[in-house]
Structure 1
Amino acid sequence: MIEIQNINKSFGENHVLKGIDAIFEPGKVSLIIGGSGSGKSTLLKCIVGLHEPEEGKVFFSKEEFTGMDFEQRVPIRRDIGMLFQNSALFDSMTVEQNIVFALDMFTDMSKQEKIDRANFCLERVNLKDKNKLYPAELSGGMKKRVGIARAISMNPKYLFCDEPNSGLDPATSILIDELIQELTEEYQCTTIVVTHDMNSVMGIGEYILFLYKGEKFWEGSNDEMLRSDVQELNDFVFASPLMKAARSTIT
């Protein structure tokens, strides 16, 4: 479980996050949504420690992460898997080397154990025998799956995904969503996804946190979202004809 309390973050005079509270439960895919500039990516970075909030607390399984120094945070960071928006693969490394990189940093596994783990993770994301390919030889969807394989290589308790479907076609986006959901259930991860993809919201949104101008405006499930009377949320969610049509079927 991850809990955040009264998270405030500013950049100069720009108050980006204003007192955000939320609880993200294990075994569920939680989504942070909102328009551009709403603060969703900043919130994710505050949770994982890439930004330090001026005020507020972050708890991982009831341990206060914000109160720890660098060394104290290491054990928790070992339990974190991160999928970045652009996959963040090392171009000069093979698929296998990209996955083994995290194992080199954080484990004392033997070389063969690391390769075995890489093979397991690649098979789990349906990329068996792609070990020796380089990122330039992969499609966008394959790069995302390699990123997921690297993220789960450490058996994470916490999985963070920043715009996992960015730049992908609809069919591949659905596959990535399904994979994230399957892995969350399999590992019982506390999974947090930052997204603007409404297909993802409707497909895997078990818990949704909606930010508006740096404030928490609404939280609930995707089913509850369709019935919400919060105007700011409705303006964001039902901007597309497809989502308007989805709402019309239940009203």
Structure 2
Amino acid sequence: MIEVTNIHKSFGDNHVLTGIDAVFEPGKVSLIIGGSGSGKSTLLKCIVGLHQPTQGKVFFDGQEFTRMSFEEKVPIRKEIGMLFQNSALFDSMTVEQNIVFTLDMFTEMSKQEKIERANFCLERVNLAGKNDLYPSELSGGMKKRVGIARAISMNPKYLFCDEPNSGLDPATSILIDELIQELTDEFKCTTVVVTHDMNSVMGIGDYILFLFKGQKYWEGSNQDMLKSDNQELNDFVFASPLMKAARDTIKP
């Protein structure tokens, strides 16, 4: 479980986050949604330690992550899998090398064990046999899947995904969502996803945290969201005719 309490983040005079509280539970896919500039990615970076909050605390299973030294954070970081928005693959490395890179950094596995683990992860994301390809030879969806394979290479307890469907066509986006859900169930991860994709929200959103102007304006399940009277949430979610139609099937 991950808990954030009273998180604030400022960059100079720019107050990006103000007093965010949330609990992300294991075995569930939690989504952080909101418009551009609402603070979604900043909150994610505060949780994983890429940003230090100006104020507030982050707990990983009761351990206060924000007060730890760099060395003290290492055991928790080994349990974190991260999929970045642009996949963040190394262009000069093959698919296999990109996955093994993480294992080189954090494990004492033998070379053969690392290759076997890479093969397992590639098979898990339906990319078996693509070991020797370079990122330039991959489609956008394949790059995302390689990023996920690398993220799960350490058998993570916590899985973070920043805009996993960005730049993908609808069919591929659905496949990525299904993969995230399957991996969450399989590994019992505490999964946190930043997204603006309403198909993802309705498809895999066990818990939704809605940010508006750097503040928490609503939280609940995707089904609760369809019945909410929160005006800011409704303005964001139901801008799409498809989502309006979904709400109309729920509300009398």
TM-score, length basis structure 2: 0.99
DSSP-derived class of the 2:51 partner: coil
Counterparts of 2:119 and 2:88 in 1: how far apart (Å)?
20
* Residue 139 (structure 2) pairs with residue 139 (structure 1): yes
Match of 1:119 in 2: 119
Match of 1:41 in 2: 41
* Residue 204 (structure 2) pairs with residue 204 (structure 1): yes
* Residue 185 (structure 2) pairs with residue 171 (structure 1): no
Match of 1:148 in 2: 148
Match of 1:22 in 2: 22
Match of 2:90 in 1: 90
Counterparts of 1:191 and 1:250 in 2: how far apart (Å)?
27
Provide runs of 4+ in structure 1 moved above 2 Å: none
DSSP-derived class of the 1:179 partner: helix
Please tell me the root mean square deviation across aligned C-alpha atoms, in Å.
0.4
AA aligned opposite 2:199? N
Post-superposition CA distance 1:174-210 (Å, at most 9, x none):
0000000000010000000000000000000000000
Post-superposition CA distance 1:63-103 (Å, at most 9, x none):
00001010000000000000000000000000000000000
Counterparts of 1:225 and 1:137 in 2: how far apart (Å)?
40
Counterparts of 2:250 and 2:36 in 1: how far apart (Å)?
28
Counterparts of 2:134 and 2:97 in 1: how far apart (Å)?
9
Match of 1:62 in 2: 62
Counterparts of 2:239 and 2:173 in 1: how far apart (Å)?
20
Q: Runs of 5+ in structure 1 lacking a partner?
A: none
Post-superposition CA distance 1:15-34 (Å, at most 9, x none):
11000000000000000000
Moved more, 102-111 or 240-249: 240-249
Question: 1:250 Cα shift?
Answer: 1.2
Counterparts of 1:14 and 1:25 in 2: how far apart (Å)?
30
Counterparts of 1:237 and 1:106 in 2: how far apart (Å)?
40
Q: Percent identity?
A: 84
Question: 1:158 Cα shift?
Answer: 0.3
Q: Runs of 5+ in structure 2 lacking a partner?
A: none
AA aligned opposite 1:5? T
* Residue 107 (structure 2) pairs with residue 107 (structure 1): yes
Counterparts of 1:67 and 1:185 in 2: how far apart (Å)?
30
